[in-house]
Amino acid sequence: MIKPGPEMHILVVGSVALDTVKTPFGEAREVLGGSAVYFSASASFFTPVSVVAVVGADFPGESLEFLKKREVDFAGLERRPGRTFRWQGEYGFDLNEAKTLDTQLNVFAEFHPRLPDAYRARELIFLANIDPELQREVLTQVQGPRLVAADTMNFWIREKPDALRRTLEQVQVLIINDAEARMLAGEPNLVRAARKILSWGPRLLVVKRGEYGALSFSDGGWFAAPALPLEQVYDPTGAGDAFAGGFLGFLASTRNFDEANLRRAVIMGSVMASFAVEAFSLERLHNLTYPEIEARYRQFKALAHFEDL
């Protein structure tokens, strides 16, 4: 299945943040977070990743050292005067939805992504959950990428629907959760919502459903990926970005976009999300190994497999 030749490189544009997170299992204060960080930590197990983002003068640069060692390139990380983006959230026992307690955009409020020249030819682009206008600013700076994937959220769906629709015209893979898919399409039925969204540009819609797994929709068919039942979920923060990182990282490393490999990629996204939630912040991804990733993929296979009649 894996094609010979070098893997594709990924560019991610998103946030680098300091998170304060409370769950029923504990609390973490001002720990490394943000969509670009979770995404790149996850994707870096598969392929080199370049990050475009912004931090403030207060950002502890050494917190990114472990990612730099994993071939994550931060030449596109701008450091500006002021404070780093901060997010504070809390999860209840069901751990399915974060309650946002506080968001301080800080330097992120004035952020405009500027790609270093070396990044313009990146083949896979991930537009993490940022203003859809900024997502398009990124796309004006790249040269014929093979694949553009994007995330978004309820805030942009509500506040900038037109800008978001224009971005979607340029996106091949949209990776969002089920509430977002329903809200984006204005349609409570997920199948009809998916059909509508696929008519707007994306050729593949990946719908994340937390502990219920993921569904993907395309002309090639529908695919239902399970989530691994986990005995301990410590911190769901970043699970969605870890999912996107596993999904795109796997595609980048295999350079194969056929239906069978897209399904493997959805499972790999689920695999990486399942690791991300096992500890606070990026702790679990720090010491994760590739053999563990492969073993968990096999666990997903054993979990979901059934025979023909």
- Of 4, 6, 229, 291, the one binding its own copies (CB under 8 A) is 229
The C-alpha angle with vertex 47 and arms to 130 and 198, in degrees rounded to 5, equals 45
| Closest CB to its own copies among residues 11, 225 | 225
- Of 56, 113, 213, 236, the one binding its own copies (CB under 8 A) is 213
Nearest of 124, 116, 216 to residue 176 by alpha carbon: 216
- Of 93, 117, 219, 287, the one binding its own copies (CB under 8 A) is 93
Token pair belonging to 281 = 């912040």
Using CB under 8 A as the binding rule, whether residue 219 contacts its own copies is answered as no
Instruction: Calculate the alpha carbon distances from 189 to 150, 181, 182, 184, 200 in Å.
Output: 22, 10, 7, 12, 17
Using CB under 8 A as the binding rule, whether residue 231 contacts its own copies is answered as yes
Which of these ranges, 80-88, 234-242, 261-269, 280-288, lies near its own copies under the rule CB under 8 A? 261-269
Using CB under 8 A as the binding rule, whether residue 302 contacts its own copies is answered as yes
| Closest CB to its own copies among residues 31, 227 | 227
Using CB under 8 A as the binding criterion, the count of chain residues that bind its own copies stands at 43
DSSP 28: E
- Of 94, 97, 110, 159, the one binding its own copies (CB under 8 A) is 94
Q: Residue 138 CB: number of other CB atoms within 10 A?
A: 25
Using CB under 8 A as the binding rule, whether residue 224 contacts its own copies is answered as yes
| Closest CB to its own copies among residues 162, 307 | 307
How far is Cα 15 from Cα 132, in angstroms, rounded to an integer?
A: 14
How far is Cα 16 from Cα 47, in angstroms, rounded to an integer?
A: 20
Using CB under 8 A as the binding rule, whether residue 220 contacts its own copies is answered as no
Helix (H, G, I), strand (E, B) or coil at 138: helix
The CB-of-124 to its own copies minimum distance in angstroms stands at 19
Nearest of 236, 220, 229 to residue 302 by alpha carbon: 229
| Closest CB to its own copies among residues 1, 140 | 1
The CB-of-31 to its own copies minimum distance in angstroms stands at 24
- Of 5, 140, 143, 309, the one binding its own copies (CB under 8 A) is 309
How far is Cα 228 from Cα 213, in angstroms, rounded to an integer?
A: 8
The CB-of-18 to its own copies minimum distance in angstroms stands at 29
Using CB under 8 A as the binding rule, whether residue 68 contacts its own copies is answered as no
Token pair belonging to 75 = 């030449």
22: Cα within 13 Å, side-chain hemisphere: 8
Token pair belonging to 110 = 């004035």
Nearest of 139, 225, 140, 138 to residue 175 by alpha carbon: 225
Using CB under 8 A as the binding rule, whether residue 304 contacts its own copies is answered as yes
**Positions that interact with its own copies (CB under 8 A):** 1, 93-94, 188-192, 194, 209, 211-213, 215, 221-227, 229-233, 260, 263-264, 266-267, 294, 297-298, 301-309
